[in-house]
Amino acid sequence: MKENTPIQEIQNPILDQNGVRLFIKRDDLTHPDVSGNKWRKLKYNLLQAKEEGYSTILTFGGAYSNHIHAFAAAGKLYGLKIIGMIRGEEHLPLNPTLSFAESQGMKLVYMDRTSFKNYRDHIPRLKEELGDFYVAPMGGSNALALKGVAELGEEINNSNQQFDVVCAAGGTGGTLAGLISSLDENMRVLGFPALKGGEFLYDDIRGFIKESGLKENVDWELITDYHFGGYAKKKPELIQFIEEFHQKHHVELERIYTGKMLYGVMDLIGKGYFSKGDRILCLHSGGLQINR
């Protein structure tokens, strides 16, 4: 697992025209199967489970989630048994995420969508059925996850470059919460929710920070206009942007999180949203297995 991932500068005439500089924190290079923010969020949960003497971890997620994919691979690498509680019914053949998860030794258990909404209520029953386990939360966001993301924040704080704005995509908001509570106060954070109606993340992010006993170190806001219709919609202009970005800058993006964020950042740069001289750092939070 590679930490202290590199920061790469992007060269593009649009940046020069608008007087800004753009950098990418390459957390996609952490590990091919446990990439980006998922590793940051998993790390202390795995260590905690081991420390408490658990040999099994149960976690929850959607059938296509990067969280399930990353947890399965991390479990195998660290010698822990992982149970994946998957939202919805079983569909065979398994989709690529679940068939990968199973290949890593994850035990897949399904839960209907209604029960899944209150998944925590089912934990005691599951423990009776499956034996004792450590519970890692839905989407992997808890205080221990923020602790892992804070290490990413520290890497940015300690970089020999100075940044004015740090941008990251948001799903549950755990990653943004970790950045907001760990970055030095001279930076500000822009969050790009992947979902439509992403304003709900304001409360969720504040909640994660509070629950973790942390505080907001930096000014931050959400940019909610770049969801492209929702979680997994394939919009042609987004797909084209991702392809061009790859060709021009040799950085691969994906269409659920990092593609939308970088589309948004480039669009905002073109619209003069940033101040002259701003140094913008975008977090590449990984998730590239969806492209394979």
Ligand X SMILES: *Cc1c(COP(=O)(O)O)cnc(C)c1O
Stretch that binds ligand X, among 103-111, 150-158, 220-228, 282-290 (CB under 6 A): 282-290
Give the shortest CB-118-to-ligand X separation in angstroms.
20
Stretch that binds ligand X, among 50-58, 96-104, 172-180, 238-246 (CB under 6 A): 172-180
DSSP H or E run through 281:
strand 279-284
- Which of 261, 234, 229, 233 lies closest to 245, judged by CA? 261
When asked if residue 142 is in the footprint of ligand X (CB under 6 A), the reply is no
Give the shortest CB-129-to-ligand X separation in angstroms.
28
Q: Which of 21, 25, 38, 76 binds ligand X (CB under 6 A)?
A: 38
Q: Which of 84, 174, 198, 259 binds ligand X (CB under 6 A)?
A: 174
When asked if residue 263 is in the footprint of ligand X (CB under 6 A), the reply is no
35, 65, 141, 285: the active-site residue: 65
Query: Rounded to 5 degrees, what angle do the CA atoms 38, 40, 46 make?
Result: 90
When asked if residue 259 is in the footprint of ligand X (CB under 6 A), the reply is no
Shorter beta-carbon distance to ligand X: residue 18 or 190: 190
When asked if residue 61 is in the footprint of ligand X (CB under 6 A), the reply is no
Interatomic CA distance for residues 110 and 200, integer angstroms:
27
Q: Residues 83, 106: contact at Cβ < 8 Å?
A: yes
Interatomic CA distance for residues 16 and 11, integer angstroms:
8
When asked if residue 264 is in the footprint of ligand X (CB under 6 A), the reply is no
Interatomic CA distance for residues 269 and 17, integer angstroms:
9
When asked if residue 257 is in the footprint of ligand X (CB under 6 A), the reply is yes
CB-based burial label for 257 (10 Å; 0-12, 13-18, 19+): buried
Interatomic CA distance for residues 219 and 233, integer angstroms:
30
Give the shortest CB-13-to-ligand X separation in angstroms.
28
Give the shortest CB-130-to-ligand X separation in angstroms.
25
Shorter beta-carbon distance to ligand X: residue 83 or 286: 286
Give the shortest CB-173-to-ligand X separation in angstroms.
5
Q: What does the block give as tokens for 66?
A: 């990067």
Angstrom distances, CA of residue 175 to CA of 38, 40, 170, 194? 9, 9, 7, 13
Q: Which of 37, 142, 212, 217 binds ligand X (CB under 6 A)?
A: 37
Concerning whether 65 is annotated as a catalytic residue, the answer is yes
| DSSP three-state, residue 91 | coil
Q: Which residues are catalytic?
A: 65
Question: Interface with ligand X by CB under 6 A: which residues?
Answer: 36-38, 66, 139, 141, 169-176, 257-258, 285-287
